[in-house]
């Protein structure tokens, strides 16, 4: 069974890539918010992405076209992110990162057999998280912090993503 067989008909919608980029941006922000818990001072979080739609959606809680098949999903992601940020003491801004400067994220998006359209030098055999973390540290040490680690999402974030 293909890994994304449980996705809805939206998986082939022309705008689904923007939605998935937005979801990835939201998930990353949620993880950073979680890491910031317990810090004595409020933090300014900068969300970086190479998808201009995702960046523009980060500060929206409502979308204009309810007839858009992605309307409900975009609204759900946006409102959940807005709720989590406003409940924290932290602030959020977004910045565009040119695609060619987004090497690590681009590489991570080609994990697994479902993305066979592009050869990937680190993910060719769909390694486990520990092996993949080691490969990133070995291949791209100048692009990632020493603390970089690939691990499963916390249950609350994974549950949100599945919605």
5-50, pLDDT tens digit by residue?
455 666 677 888 889 889 999 999 999 999 998 888 999 999 888 8
Cα-to-chain-centroid distance, residue 151:
14
pLDDT of residue 10: 65
Question: Distance of CA 78 to CAs 96, 118, 140, 155, Å?
Answer: 18, 30, 32, 19
Q: Is pLDDT of 66 > 50?
A: yes
**CA angle, 14 then 15 then 16, to 5°:** 100
Whether 83 contacts 132, CB under 8 Å: no
Q: Is pLDDT of 149 > 60?
A: yes
pLDDT of residue 137: 93
Residue 125 DSSP code = T
Cα gap 92→43, rounded to integer Å: 9
Cα gap 78→88, rounded to integer Å: 16
Q: pLDDT by residue (tens digit) across 120-144?
A: 777 777 788 899 899 989 988 998 8
Q: pLDDT by residue (tens digit) across 85-119?
A: 999 999 999 888 776 656 666 666 555 455 444 56
Comparing 97 with 146, the larger pLDDT belongs to 146
């Amino acid at each position: 069974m293909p890994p994304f067989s449980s996705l809805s008909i939206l998986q082939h919608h022309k705008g689904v890539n923007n939605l998935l980029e937005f979801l990835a941006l939201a998930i990353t922000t949620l993880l950073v918010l979680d890491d910031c818990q317990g810090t004595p001072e409020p933090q300014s979080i900068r969300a970086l992405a190479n998808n201009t739609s995702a960046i523009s959606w980060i500060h929206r809680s409502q979308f204009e076209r309810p007839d858009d098949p992605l309307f409900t999903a975009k609204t759900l992601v946006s409102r959940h992110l807005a709720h989590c940020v406003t409940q924290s003491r932290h602030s959020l801004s977004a910045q565009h990162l040119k695609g060619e400067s987004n090497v690590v994220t681009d590489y991570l998006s080609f994990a697994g057999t479902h993305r066979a359209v592009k050869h990937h030098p680190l993910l060719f055999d769909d390694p486990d998280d520990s092996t993949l973390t080691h490969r990133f540290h070995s291949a791209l040490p100048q692009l990632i912090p020493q603390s970089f680690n690939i691990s499963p999402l916390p249950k609350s974030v994974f549950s949100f993503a599945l919605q």
